[in-house]
Amino acid sequence: MKYLLYPLALIGLIFFAEGIYSQINKKGAKSARLPCHNKAVVFERLYAPELLASSKEALLSGHYVLSSSVKKATFMKSKLFEYVNLKEVDTMVTEAIATKQHLKNVSDEKLYITYYIYENDKKDPGKKTPKSKLYAGYLHFTFEMNGKKIYINQSDFMDLQGKDISKSVQCVIESFLTLDESL
């Protein structure tokens, strides 16, 4: 009996240590797959890997519908949208897609891309840390097809006048196109 107790204790200790190791090295929602992910904070999530190939095909063949909106600061005076025009950002998105577009009418299905520009509200009492007040805002993109959410990407931008929004837009499109089912 005594000889059986030591191996069982050792096996239990190994499982315990492996559990701690996996918790410490757990991959979070913050992404760092691409070089642009290291320049800004990017969160991404894939919801429907089975629709990924057809949604990329739809995007690359120009079969997409784009809709956009803004979320202005409420606790402080909104300043970002004195410099940032939603139609100009729509053009940035369209141009970022056009540079990648290469398929000719391959897909009949439409990809629906919805995004909003969120202005970081630095006077929001819900902001807990000084770090949460550093960025100017973020872009929140949702990609959907056939009524199913496929992918969400949130990419921060730092410039208070939105001068780096075009880089965030390019990063979002690149992130979507380089996705694989393992994300």
pLDDT attached to residue 182: 59
Instruction: Write the DSSP string, 124-182.
Output: -TT--SGGGGSS-EEEEEEEEETTEEEEEEEEEE--TT-TTHHHHHHHHHHHHHT--TT
Q: Is residue 85 part of a domain?
A: yes
For residue 123, the enclosing domain spans 29-177
Is residue 107 in some structural domain?
yes
Looking at the domain assignment, is residue 4 inside a domain? no
pLDDT per residue as tens digits for the range 22-51: 666 655 455 578 888 888 889 999 999 999
In a domain? residue 19: no
Residue 131 lies in a domain: yes
Per-residue confidence band for 92, with pLDDT thresholds at 50, 70 and 90:
very high
pLDDT band at 2 (very low <50, low <70, confident <90, very high): low
For residue 19, what pLDDT band results from cuts at 50, 70 and 90?
A: confident
Could you tell me the pLDDT band of residue 15, with boundaries at 50, 70 and 90? confident
User: Does the pTM exceed 0.85?
Assistant: no
Residue 20 lies in a domain: no
- Comparing CA positions, the residue from 119, 105, 131, 99 lying closest to residue 160 is 119
Q: How confident is the model at residue 5 (pLDDT cuts 50, 70, 90)?
A: confident
Q: Is residue 116 scored above 80 in pLDDT?
A: yes
Indicate the number of domains in the chain: 1
Task: Examine residue 24 and state whether it is found in any structural domain, yes or no.
Answer: no
